[in-house]
Structure formats: structure tokens, C-alpha cells
Amino acid sequence: MVAAALAGFAGYGAATFATNNTPGKAFHFDDVAAQVGLQTPIVYGGEQKQKFILETTGTGVAIFDFDQDTHPDIFFVNGSRLGGFANRKPTNLLYRNLGDGTFRDVTQSAGLSRTGWGQAACVGDYDNDGKTDLLVTYYGENVLYRNLGDGKFSDVSEPAGIRNPGRWNSGCSFWDYDRDGDLDLFVANYLDFKDATHYEPGSGPNCRWKGMAVMCGPMGLKTSQNMLYRNNGDGTFSDVSAAAGVSKTTGCYGFMPVTIDFDQDGWPDLFVACDSTPNLLYRNNQNGSFAEIGMETGVAVNEDGKEQASMGVAVGDYDRDGFLDLFVTNFSEDTPALYRSSRDHTFTDATYRAKLGLNTQFLSWGTAFADLDQDGWKDLFIVSGHVYPEVDSHPSETSYRQRRSVYRNLANGSFQDISTQAGPAILAKKASRGLAFEDLDHDGSLEAVVVNLNEAPSLLKNQAKDKGNWVILQLEGSRSNRSAIGARVQLTTEGGIQTDEIRSASSFYSSNGLRLHFGLGGKPDIEKIEVFWPSGARQAFGNVRGNRVIKVHEAHGIQ
């Protein structure tokens, strides 16, 4: 049985060089997590009942090659439970990709076996030593792990000055906002630390749901303040939240920050998904400060001007117009939000026109634009799960565990929900949170890694054969930060242009790693690859062949 499963997963051969227009043929996901060795559950909050909002948010996952053996590894943030544990406490989990389609738990040897109410993970080489480092946020603190390069990490939070205890740190992103060549850090904060565990279920107007007494919040609880840390270049960071204008924006239950140079001025901007409050868009003023312009640019609320329960964020150019769009997941009985970017640097809520407003039954978290059929158009993947386990014993027709959603990009500005035709792993119901995509087995197609609360994670492998050509770009900065976070890549093929940026984190509390994956459709030829580095440098490469991983160095070009 294991052998059969491995044969399915470890497909190192080239992808089938064909595309087709039959939905479902290029999408068939199986969950191979157990077979490849991802079996330890992610523990988070009560399984039947949750007393406080702290127990609901769950954790993220980061995929990155920590040991530089070219095989992307998987790091899961683990959580905790009120009342503690009789036996061993759950710890974060680092799984080393052995390159044969299986993973080994190396958490302990890597020095990452920390316990606590873990939240998000984001990655980036903050010290520019060529090894990708890791930040894990907690309810209570931040932990910065420096990658020592020998398979081990060292907790440098204290000397780095980013521990910041007594806060509910949520999503995080490394980015070089001042373009000085080293990575700075943004940490969103969800809500007030004390309020997170203060109010009893049913004790106030915001502690009931459909007649049921449930945990309180976020409405009615105090918000907190997002944090910006500037990298001093010597292994330490300074809190510049006030000076940069970040702390001016209160009134956001901050979940997920993602970087996006929405105005294409070369200076990275940042979007923060805020739960039940207006989302934020920090425009980089190019002088170390930011202007918050979410409302003015059209990403703070939906087309009816209503605040939504923004959880996770995907960034991608779904319509291939050269401008990056945003997709935000929301609460059930509401639609997600697709913000389509325009040339005038504003966004339009295109949810309904893209046919993404019809499924309102899901309470969704992790999400990604990913070209799953490799036809050159980014599809959408969403994972869901309710916040109240109590719904399962309630007469309402919703459920705590919910299935995944796959939307195929129809290349005309709209999507088609193909979830029911996309394989058994899509229909499996879980209480999911974090989600990250990477090509874990070097077959050119993307696998999805999903955090499921109080269950083992999922590793969803697209077993469909009818996928298009592909290319993966792995960038390394020299003048720019070494992780190349913030670098924008524009790919020109016969079918038009595709655009993406390298970012430290997205989805919900998660990191897709630092490589960019593009589908190429029926032909493996790329007319041009352009790279716009954070340093301002620009490179262009013509007539490049796809179906391979292409390494691009800022100083030396394609390697």
C-alpha cells in the first residue's frame, strides 16, 4: 500500500505536454499526507467546544528548502489547548523532504520543538547569509529562528529585538520596505491579548451565533496594533511602527499581511486582511513611511461598502493584465472578495463577475492563486472550516469541517467551480486553516499542503495527467535581499504575459516558499523573462525553454 502511494506521489518524470479544456481532467487531487510521512496532528483549541476566540484561529504552514538540498521542506506551526496536555505537548513540526517522495520529522534535531499557541510562519533570509530563516508568531510573542546551515536553527528573537511579548501576533511577512538590501519584518496583530481569553461564551451580544452561546469576538473585543520592524543590518531589528505610520492605523483585527507592489513603483506595498474591520493597504511613501489607502483604492470593503471577515489572501494576476489582483477569503454566508487591479492603481470588486460569489456556505481561510492545470491562467484554491465546533450539534445545516474548493480559471475573467470534479481530496471535510503550494516532488506541478485542526495535515497531489508545460523560477538577490523577496517577474509567452512577485507569506498564516511557478500551456517556450529586482536592477532573458527550474541570480543572470 505504501509503495503504491509512493508511486503516485514520487512522479519525477516530465509532465504530460498537453492542455485540454475539459474541466476536471487536469484536476484530480488525492491526499497522500499519511503515505509520505505527514501524520502528526496539528493541535489547536477544543475539538467539541471552544471557550475563547484564541482557540479558533489555527495555524499556518511554510514550505522552504531549509537545508539547501533543492528539495522543498515543510514546516507546520503547532498550537495548544486550554487545560493543557496529560502527556507530551504538541510542538511545531519540521519535515525534511528526503527527495524520494517521503518526509522525515526533523523538528527536534533542527531545534524547532517549541510549544505554545503558534500562529503563522513566514520565511526569508534576513541576515543575507544564503540560508532561509524562519519567523513563527505566537499568541504571546514572536520567535525568530536563524538558520545555521547545519540543519539547525537558533532562536535569536531576544537579541534581534522582535520577541515583543504580551501581544497576539498573527500573520507575518518579511519584506525590504526601505530597499536597503536586507529584509524587514511586518507582524500583524489580531486583537487585544487579554480580551482573547477574557469573556465567557454567551456572555455578551457578540458571543452568540444563530441562537447558540459561542466564544466571544472578534466584534466587541479591543483591537491591537500592527508592528513594523526595520532590519538594522546587524542581526537586530528596530520597532519603527510609529515612525512609519503603521501604528496610526488602529481598528483592524489583523490577520494576514501580504506584500504587493500594487502601483508598480518599485517600492513594496502591503495589504493586511482584517477580520470584520476594513482591510488595510499601506502604500509605501518611499521615505520609510506609509499611507493607509485601503478605502480609497477599493480593497478595504466589498462593493457594497461592507466590512467582511477577511481571513486569508491570495495575490496573483488572474486576468494577465500585468497587474496583481487580490483574493480574500471570508466568513460563511458571505462571499469571498476578488479585488481586480486597474491601471489607475485602484481595485474593483470583481467577485460576482468572476463567478466567485455563488458559494456562500464556506467559512474560508487559506487560499492561493495557483496554475493547477498549467494552462497559463492562475486557478484558485481555497480551504475552509468553521470557527465553532458547536455547529455540528446545532440544527443549522453548516458543519465545522468543510470541503475544499477549486476554481478553474476560464481565461475570460471568470472562474468555474470544479470542486466536485477535482478528486476525493477536495471533497474531504476538514477544519482547515493554513495552506501552502509548492512543487514538492519536482514533477513541475504544484502540491498543496493544508493545516487541519486537531487532525493530521493534508498533502494534496494533483494526479491528473493532462496538465500543461511549466517553469519554476528560483531567484537569488545580490544587491537586493538574497531571498529576492519583492522581486517581480514578468513572463512573456505566445499566450501573453504572466506576472508575479516573490513574497515571504500569503494565504492564511502560511508561506508558499520563495520560488515562482508558472504554467505555460501547450508550448514550453518562453519568449521573454523579465525580472525587476528590489534594488532597481532589471534583467531580461529571451527564448527560454520551460519544464525546468530556472535559477536567476541578480548579478550573474540565469545559472
Partner 1 sequence: MISKIRFTSVLCLAAGLLLCRLPPAICQSDRMTAAQSHLQAGRVEQARKILIEIVGQNPGQQSAQALLGQIAFSRQQFGEAADYFAKAPAILTGTPLLRVNYAEALLETRSAALAKGELSSLPANHGVAQFEAGLLLARYGDFAGAERHFLAAKPHYPKPDVAAYNLALAQYSAGKLQECSATLEEARKNGFGTADVLNLLGQSYAESEKNTLAVGVLKEALRRYPKDERNYISFARILIDEDSTTEALDLIDRGLAVLPSSPPLRLQRGYLLMTLGRHKEAESDYRRLLATSNESNSARIGLAFVLIQSQRQELAATLLEEAIKNSPPDYFCHYLLAEIYIRQGLDDQAQRHLIRAESLQPQFAAVHSNLGKIYLRQGKLSDAINELETAIQLDPADTTAYYQLSIGYRKMGQALKAQQALASVRRLNEMERELGTSRFLTRKLKTFQNALASSSPQ
The residues of the shown chain that bind partner 1, judged by CB under 8 A, are 205-206, 208-211, 219-220, 276, 278, 295-296, 298, 301, 303-307, 333, 335, 346, 352-355, 357-361, 394-398, 414
Nearer to partner 1, 349 or 500 (CB): 349
What's the closest the beta carbon of residue 285 comes to partner 1, in angstroms?
19
Are residues 124 and 513 in contact, defined by beta-carbon separation less than 8 angstroms? no
Which strand (E) or helix (H) includes residue 160?
helix 157-160
Smallest Cα–Cα separation from 478: which of 551, 555, 531? 555
Nearer to partner 1, 12 or 352 (CB): 352
Give the three-class secondary structure for 390.
Answer: helix
Give the number of other CB atoms < 10 A from CB of residue 468: 29
Q: Is 321 exposed, middle or buried (0-12, 13-18, 19+ CB in 10 A)?
A: middle
What's the closest the beta carbon of residue 324 comes to partner 1, in angstroms?
20
CB-based burial, 249-270: b 16+ in 10 Å, e otherwise:
beebbbbbbbbbbbbbebbbbb
Q: Is 136 exposed, middle or buried (0-12, 13-18, 19+ CB in 10 A)?
A: buried
Cell numbers linked to 459: 498533502
Smallest Cα–Cα separation from 313: which of 349, 272, 347? 272
DSSP string, 309-367: B---EEEE-TT-SSS-EEEE---TTS--EEEEE-TTS-EEE-TTTTT-SS--S--EEEE
Chain centroid to CA 262:
18
Vertex 556: Cα angle to 554 and 558 (nearest 5) = 90
What's the closest the beta carbon of residue 210 comes to partner 1, in angstroms?
5
Nearer to partner 1, 174 or 400 (CB): 400
Nearer to partner 1, 22 or 360 (CB): 360
Vertex 73: Cα angle to 70 and 75 (nearest 5) = 155
Vertex 288: Cα angle to 514 and 263 (nearest 5) = 60
What's the closest the beta carbon of residue 391 comes to partner 1, in angstroms?
8
Nearer to partner 1, 277 or 367 (CB): 277
What's the closest the beta carbon of residue 441 comes to partner 1, in angstroms?
35
Are residues 137 and 170 in contact, defined by beta-carbon separation less than 8 angstroms? yes
Neighbouring residues of 144: CB distance < 8 A, sequence distance ≥ 6? 126, 133, 134, 135, 155, 156, 157, 160, 162
What's the closest the beta carbon of residue 204 comes to partner 1, in angstroms?
9
Nearer to partner 1, 238 or 342 (CB): 342
Which strand (E) or helix (H) includes residue 170?
strand 169-175
Smallest Cα–Cα separation from 265: which of 474, 486, 506? 486
Smallest Cα–Cα separation from 256: which of 500, 511, 506, 77? 506
The residue type of 474 is Q
Distance between CA atoms of residues 279 and 257, nearest Å: 10
Are residues 525 and 506 in contact, defined by beta-carbon separation less than 8 angstroms? no
Nearer to partner 1, 218 or 468 (CB): 218
End-to-end CA distance of the chain: 40
Nearer to partner 1, 209 or 267 (CB): 209
